Amino acid sequence: MIDTPRRSGRGLRESPWHGRLFEIPLAATRAFQGYGVFHLAAQHSGTAGLAARYAAALFELADEAKQLDSVAADLKTVKAMIDGSADLRRLLRSPVLTRAEQGKAMAAVLQQAGVGDLLRRFVALVAENRRLFALVDMIDAYLADLARRRGEVTATVTSAIALTEAQTASVTEALKRAVGGKVAVELRTDPSLIGGLVVKVGSRMIDNSLKSKLQRLQLAMKGVG
């Protein structure tokens, strides 16, 4: 689905960044009052492009407000909640709920999580624009932008169960030695792995999970008769 400007006769307002023009729905304007946030209406193909643009907008806002780290921490909290709740994932992708219902539900979730005002207003805008289905991708894109700004390499570590703080520290240190620099580690869980880790650094994949080993064994067994 492509975000295209809705020419409703309400006109266009200028973004405070780079002289770009974006249409701002009235509800979205209220949601981001005081932050100058705009309705994103650009050309893209697929969710990745959409998420990257929303993330870039949030990044600029957080940078201007000197809240890059606090917003990143809030985003990680929200992503952990999404990863741990099937109900929340269904909420984000529900074709049945109205944008108002999704927005109200997300506002309650974010209030319970104790996230900052900037992120609450941003998510309200995302809900208003009916783009909650891409929220996780927006979070990933923001964190990747922050890592690049700091000269860090982003590594995604997927495990069968959540890693402890000690295990996370050990994996992070090992990755630092492997890449020879700073590493921003993103943790994910996938119970289907059964055991082991799947580590992705850029386009490089390191997979020592039991799931992968079993799949390779099954393929090998197909040739035995």
Convert the pLDDT of each residue in 126-167 to its tens digit: 999 999 999 999 998 999 899 888 888 888 888 888 888 888
**Alpha-carbon distance 135 to 141, whole Å?**
10
State whether 124 and 203 are in the same domain: no
Convert the pLDDT of each residue in 60-93 to its tens digit: 999 999 999 999 999 999 998 998 899 999 999 9
For residue 100, what is the domain's CATH number? 1.10.520.20
State whether 111 and 166 are in the same domain: no
State whether 29 and 119 are in the same domain: yes
How many domains does the chain divide into? 2
Using an 8 Å Cβ cutoff, are 149 and 118 in contact?
A: no
Residue 221: predicted pLDDT: 75
State whether 137 and 187 are in the same domain: no
Using an 8 Å Cβ cutoff, are 44 and 3 in contact?
A: yes
In a domain, 103, yes or no: yes
In a domain, 49, yes or no: yes
**Alpha-carbon distance 82 to 202, whole Å?**
23
Question: What is the phi-psi region of residue 109: left when phi exceeds 0, alpha when psi lies from -120 to 50, beta otherwise?
Answer: alpha
DSSP alpha helices (H): ranges in 15-67? 26-31, 46-64
State whether 210 and 141 are in the same domain: no
* Phi–psi pair at 179, nearest 5 degrees: -95, -15
Domain that residue 169 falls in? 151-221
Q: Domain end: 146, 169, 203, which one?
A: 146
- Number of helices (H), then strands (E), belonging to the chain: the values are 9, 6
Convert the pLDDT of each residue in 193-223 to its tens digit: 877 888 888 667 777 777 777 777 777 777 6
State whether 131 and 197 are in the same domain: no
Q: Which of 96-100, 101-105, 131-135, 164-168 is predicted least confidently?
A: 164-168
